Amino acid sequence: MDLQTNTVVDIQLVQSNEVGGRYHMEKEGLQRSLALLEARGVTLECIVTDRHPQIQKFLRERNIKQFYDVWRIEKGITRQLENICKLKDCEKLREWLGSIKNHIYWTAASSITGPERVAKWSSILNHVRDIHTHEDPNFPACLHPQKRSRDGNKWLVVPGLRHSTSWRKVMTNKRILKDVTKLSPHHQTSPFDSFHSVILRFAPKNVVFPFLGMLCRLYLAALHYNENVGRAQATTSTGRPLFKVNFPKGRKGQCTVKQVKTRPLTFKYLDDLQDLIFEHVFVDPAPYMDEVLKIPIPPDLCAEYERPDKEEVIMVSRLNQ
């Protein structure tokens, strides 16, 4: 996906028995997409992904700049901190969870270099203790106005409590600090997650499709997404942008806002497909069939297992009952 235009530029369908397991599927799909883009003369500025170890190594060997999606790192940190909040004497930390979440997004958006990101991220360790000057020269002091707080009990300054050490270990974990240096300062993978929700409408997970059928449904999902991704946000008569409030199940009662679009979904790509089929494919289907036959279709996942005799299976099931 091109994150500047939020459009899908390529789709690769990889089956686990092609690459020796599910763990290798993501890397194989990336290799195929990069090969296709290079063949078309496309140069990459950077790639924004999750922290998959194979992808990290592959991009490092290819000298391709990689950034990490902020939400995925924030989600992992928040999950660990929420577990710490359940411990005795750690309830006060829960009041800071929202600020810690916002801090990692601000760190990514306001930093230019990796050391600056680490310095800003680490500054939260002092900030929650009412200390707003820091030893790291990349970020020597907090940017907010220096003033005394009316509520002195909100600071995590009580020594000897569990949260004074356990939550700091989470925040200063070596892997976390290493990953913070690669936080994406510009683009995130949230449009890609939106595309996944479109895929579920065309290819529900509770339905099994053959390989070629699944590939066609993915192409249709990409056409549908690309056509409707550029819809503008609706505004009021005074020019204020319109939003609607949602309560996602995964947010546990926290609300989110979504933009209200100016127009409903359109399906003009269907007209283009019909024109292609009736004006070209039906007239001369041979070249299109040749292209379809070039697609390598792996064997079904169940093909690697020996199919037992049906009567024997029925007999065994009756005996087990």
61-117 tens-digit pLDDT:
999 999 999 999 999 999 998 888 888 777 788 888 889 999 999 999 999 999 999
Give the count of beta carbons closer than 10 Å to the beta carbon of residue 142: 16
Query: Of 149, 180, 211, at which residue does a domain stop?
Result: 180
**Rounded Cα gap, residues 9 and 33, in angstroms:** 9
**Rounded Cα gap, residues 123 and 110, in angstroms:** 14
pTM over 0.85: no
Two structure tokens written together for 117: 């990101």
First-to-last C-alpha distance (Å) of the chain = 51
Q: Which residues contact 50 (CB under 8 A, 6 or more apart)?
A: 68, 69, 72, 189
**Rounded Cα gap, residues 299 and 15, in angstroms:** 9
The pLDDT of residue 179 is 92
Query: Of 148, 180, 212, at which residue does a domain stop?
Result: 180
Query: Of 180, 200, 222, at which residue does a domain stop?
Result: 180
Q: Is residue 76 part of a domain?
A: yes
Residue type, 160: G
**Rounded Cα gap, residues 48 and 66, in angstroms:** 6
Given the structure tokens 């065994």, which residue do they identify?
Answer: 316
Given the structure tokens 């599927």, which residue do they identify?
Answer: 25
The length of the chain, given as a count of residues: 321
The pLDDT of residue 1 is 85
The pLDDT of residue 213 is 93
* Residue ranges making up the domain that contains 305: 288-320
Q: Is residue 74 part of a domain?
A: yes
Q: Is residue 6 part of a domain?
A: no
Two structure tokens written together for 140: 């020597």
Given the structure tokens 């609300």, which residue do they identify?
Answer: 255
**Rounded Cα gap, residues 209 and 219, in angstroms:** 14
Q: Is residue 282 part of a domain?
A: no
The pLDDT of residue 303 is 81
Q: Is residue 270 part of a domain?
A: no
Alpha helices in the chain (DSSP H): 16-19, 25-39, 53-61, 70-85, 97-110, 114-122, 124-127, 163-171, 174-180, 190-202, 211-228, 268-276, 286-293, 310-320
* Residue 141 near residue 134, CB atoms below 8 Å: yes
Low-confidence stretches of the chain (pLDDT < 50) are: none
Q: Is residue 26 part of a domain?
A: no
Q: Is residue 129 part of a domain?
A: yes
Q: Is residue 5 part of a domain?
A: no
Give the count of beta carbons closer than 10 Å to the beta carbon of residue 90: 19
Exposed, middle or buried: residue 189 (CB in 10 Å: 0-12, 13-18, 19+)?
buried
Q: 233 - beta bridge partners? A: 261
Pick from 48, 66, 51, 36: which is nearest to 3 by CA? 48
Average model confidence (pLDDT) across the chain:
87
**Rounded Cα gap, residues 260 and 193, in angstroms:** 19
- For the four alpha carbons of 8, 12, 13 and 17, in that order, the dihedral sign comes to negative
Work out how many domains the chain is built from and give that number.
Answer: 2
